[in-house]
Amino acid sequence: MDFALAPEQQELAALVRSLLAKRGDPRAERYDEALWQTLCEQIGVPALGIPEEYGGAGFSLFEPLVALEEVGRSLVPSPLLSSLVTAEALLAGADEAARQRLLPRIAAGEVAAFVDGADAVDVLDGDLATVLVVAVGDRLLEVDPATADRTWTPSMDQSVRLARVAVDPTSGTPIGDARPARERALLVGAAGCAALATGGAARALEMTVSYTQERVQFGRPIGSFQALKHRMADLLVLTEMARSASWAASYAVATGADDAAELAHVAKSYCCEAFAQVAGETIQLHGGIAITWEHDAHLFFKRAHALGQLFGTPREHRAAIAL
């Protein structure tokens, strides 16, 4: 692939970035419903990867992952990843009737959650979803959210909304095969986390470089000190390599390439660890200001560690490649 975004993909990224910069609040504990509706109605973010016959825009999975990188950059809470994972699970494992019924709702902006098991913990946006798709054994079920026991689970990064979801499988409606749905959900979840981590790392680095150009010590900006230049250069290499890994995985997963699973494992492992390192250095290079609640540095640190656990740890993904 050509490791550059097409003009229309660049425009998509710029639109999402501009909107989130103007209206997003990275300190919010749940997503802003008005902002989410604007993303849905004006840009059509959740509909991008859904085929037109199901009410979507008919693009590939790559486009919503481009938007997801911008969500990661902003640190704004968003149900985009959970809805994207659920939509892809439905496309992979659900029957035609379920696709026709559920995918237009997701494309229109209803929050969706994919639940693996009858009693699952750490379900992304599980307590807020109005579309609930559950994999139990080899069965894929549609479950009425009103019949499920859903409890918000507090986490270190409160902008990543997690919940425990318990359902009675007998109350669900069978809609397909859980195996391909589960496999697709894990693959897309890994690629999505890589995109979020890449965006977060890029923004943290930009913020750090800007600060070192403004902070003066010994009569000169600290960014002019050679030792700090070297550290920031290393962070730039980490961030750019993370972007390459993320885009490669996103493209492979979107196109169904033979090496999609391997690239997704690599991206999830590398991007999340790169983000954790960049976030740690962000705190260090901001000095004393970064250990205060008033500064956003701690938000990047929390998001980095949350993404490192979501949809499998880096160590688990490396182990999957070694098998």
Q: Domain limits of the chain?
A: 180-322
Show the low-confidence residues of the chain (pLDDT under 70).
1-3
Crossing angle of helices 226-255 and 260-285, rounded to 10°? 150
pLDDT score, position 222:
84
pLDDT score, position 1:
47
Alpha carbons 109 and 82: distance in angstroms, whole number: 12
pLDDT score, position 2:
54
Alpha-carbon torsion angle 153, 149, 143, 99, nearest 10: -10
Could you tell me if residue 218 is left (phi over 0), alpha (psi between -120 and 50 degrees) or otherwise beta?
left
Alpha carbons 299 and 153: distance in angstroms, whole number: 18
- Alpha-carbon distances, residue 72 vs 10, 76, 92, 142, 299 (angstroms): 16, 7, 26, 29, 11
Residues 6+ apart with CB under 8 A from 50: 56, 57, 58, 87, 91, 103, 106, 107
Does an H or E element contain 43, and which?
none
Nearest alpha-carbon partner for 133 in 108, 148, 120, 114: 114
Alpha carbons 31 and 25: distance in angstroms, whole number: 9
Residue with tokens 């098998």: 323
pLDDT score, position 66:
97
Q: What are phi and psi of 49, to 5 degrees?
A: -90, 0
CATH number attached to the domain at 180-322 = 1.20.140.10
Answer yes or no: are the C-beta atoms of 281 and 93 closer than 8 Å.
no
Residue with tokens 């019949």: 147
pLDDT score, position 44:
95
Q: What is the pTM of this model?
A: 0.95
**Secondary structure (DSSP) of 91-148:** HHHB-HHHHHHHHHHHHTT--EEEEESSEEEEEETTTT-SEEEEEETTEEEEE-GGGS
Alpha carbons 206 and 194: distance in angstroms, whole number: 18
Residues 6+ apart with CB under 8 A from 252: 259, 260, 263, 264
